[in-house]
Amino acid sequence: MGTRKTRKITDADLTRVGPDTPAGQWLRRYWLAISRAEDLKDIPLGVKNLNEELVLFRDDRQRLGLLGRHCAHRGSSLEYGDVECGGIRCPYHGWLYDVEGRCLEQPAEPENSKFHLKVRQLWYPVKEFGGLIFAYMGPGRNSPRPCRDTRLWRATTESFITKRLVTTITIGSISLRMRRT
């Protein structure tokens, strides 16, 4: 029976939070504050969290959506997309995505094409509570653990959130990032 090689975890690994890193996988087990609700206006808002570039928006029914920022088609930034018709429309070729990343329309495809059903943009669940917007970026995004203790989050985060800084707090760790202006 072969032995499985494991890589030694170093201190530097604590600073890496991408999806395939130990610290990133741990942090993704929590709901994380990604924005103040008041910062999300009627146009999409680019956010970067855990080393992932994302776009946050409210659709025309006021549902929150958090999608991968770069369109699944040719990678254009959805940050410059239009919110309309139940989702966000890519500014380049007009693919339309709902808040769970389903592709609803592809204007250049033939009328009866089903190709849009094969496309799914990266998406994460989001919730608004106490003036903050939380995202869950971990496994099982269709049934994430409940967004509990948000009153605690609110109490601990609000003193750290200023006009230019957004604080991400999990048990035992705090990280700060500059907001895009």
Chain positions contacting ligand FES, by CB under 6 A: 71, 73-74, 76, 90, 92-95
Is residue 93 within 8 A of residue 104, CB to CB? The reply is no
CB of 133 to ligand FES, least distance (A): 24
CB closer to ligand FES out of 80 and 160 = 80
Q: Please work out, in degrees rounded to the nearest 5, the angle formed at the alpha carbon of residue 75 by the alpha carbons of 47 and 117.
A: 100
CB of 93 to ligand FES, least distance (A): 3
CB closer to ligand FES out of 12 and 108 = 108
CB closer to ligand FES out of 50 and 54 = 54
CB closer to ligand FES out of 7 and 118 = 118
CB of 79 to ligand FES, least distance (A): 12
Query: Which of 81, 79, 98, 99 has the alpha carbon at shortest distance from 89?
Result: 81
Residue 70: strand, helix, or coil: strand
Is residue 135 within 8 A of residue 114, CB to CB? The reply is no
CB closer to ligand FES out of 120 and 145 = 120
CB of 94 to ligand FES, least distance (A): 6
CB of 107 to ligand FES, least distance (A): 9
Residue 132: strand, helix, or coil: strand
- What is the rounded end-to-end Cα distance, in angstroms, of the chain? 56
Cα–Cα distance between 14 and 18 in angstroms, integer? 11
